[in-house]
């Protein structure tokens, strides 16, 4: 007997683990458990199960999938250019997304989270050597922020980085390289 599991669009979930599907008996009834991982945000979704010999399919109640938790390494970074001259503005656009690229508002770092550009100086307040603190990023919309830097020193293969620092212990500094590489050239 082969089962067919359909999901609207089939890109909202993916099969999570090959060896964790199993049958369970609860109160004399047999249930199948099939783990799936939600990967795309959506509303009014259903799971449908239909064996080839069944006339009708079984469907779940409607449900929604919301964005997952956001970690610094998931941030999507865009730069306004790939090559800058010393003195140019480097505009860093930060998109808040979960690990599957879904836009999310579930990013709540404290003041120990920074974005920094090597060989550049921020044009915003909030710079204390590690970069610009999250609280000082310019909010564009619920999912997008910007930080602007002034290119100050020639360099190649540069990359924006995010720093999560624990100042209570002055340990556990985590640095994440994010975004595409860029360069700064002489005037």
pTM for this one?
0.77
* pLDDT value of position 171: 60
Using DSSP, state whether 134 is helix, strand or coil. helix
Percent above pLDDT 90 for the chain: 33
Any idea which residue has 């999310």 for tokens? 104
Is-contact 134 116, C-beta < 8 A? no
The partner residues of 132 in beta bridges, in order of sequence, read: 115, 127
Higher pLDDT, 106 or 98: 98
* pLDDT value of position 134: 82
Question: Tokens for 29?
Answer: 């009834």
Average pLDDT score, the chain = 81
pLDDT band at 36 (very low <50, low <70, confident <90, very high): confident
DSSP string, 112-133: TEEEE-TTEEESSS-BSSS-EE
- What are the structural domains of the chain? 4-65 (no CATH), 72-185 (2.60.40.10)
Higher pLDDT, 62 or 91: 91
* pLDDT value of position 133: 80
pLDDT band at 1 (very low <50, low <70, confident <90, very high): very low
pLDDT tens digits along 105-161 = 888 776 567 888 999 998 876 566 677 888 888 999 999 999 999 999 999 999 998
> Cα–Cα distance between 130 and 92 in angstroms, integer?
16
Percent above pLDDT 70 for the chain: 80
φ and ψ of 135, to 5 deg: -60, -20
């Amino acid at each position: 007997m082969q089962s067919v599991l359909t999901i609207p669009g089939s890109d909202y979930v993916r099969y999570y683990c090959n060896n964790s599907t199993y049958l369970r008996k609860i109160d004399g009834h047999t249930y199948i458990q099939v783990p799936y991982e939600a990967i795309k945000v959506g509303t009014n979704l259903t799971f449908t199960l239909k064996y080839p010999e069944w006339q009708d399919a079984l469907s779940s109640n409607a449900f929604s999938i919301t964005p997952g938790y956001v970690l610094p390494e998931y941030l999507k970074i865009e730069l306004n250019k790939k090559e800058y001259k010393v003195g140019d503005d480097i505009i860093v656009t930060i998109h808040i997304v979960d690990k599957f690229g879904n836009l999310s508002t579930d990013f709540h770092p404290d003041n120990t989270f920074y974005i920094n550009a090597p060989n550049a100086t921020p044009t915003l307040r909030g710079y204390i050597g590690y970069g610009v603190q999250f609280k000082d990023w310019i909010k564009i919309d619920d999912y997008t922020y910007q930080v602007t830097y002034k290119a100050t020193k020639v360099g190649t293969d540069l990359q924006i980085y995010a720093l999560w620092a624990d100042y209570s212990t002055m340990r556990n500094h985590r640095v994440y390289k994010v975004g595409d590489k860029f360069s700064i050239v002489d005037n």
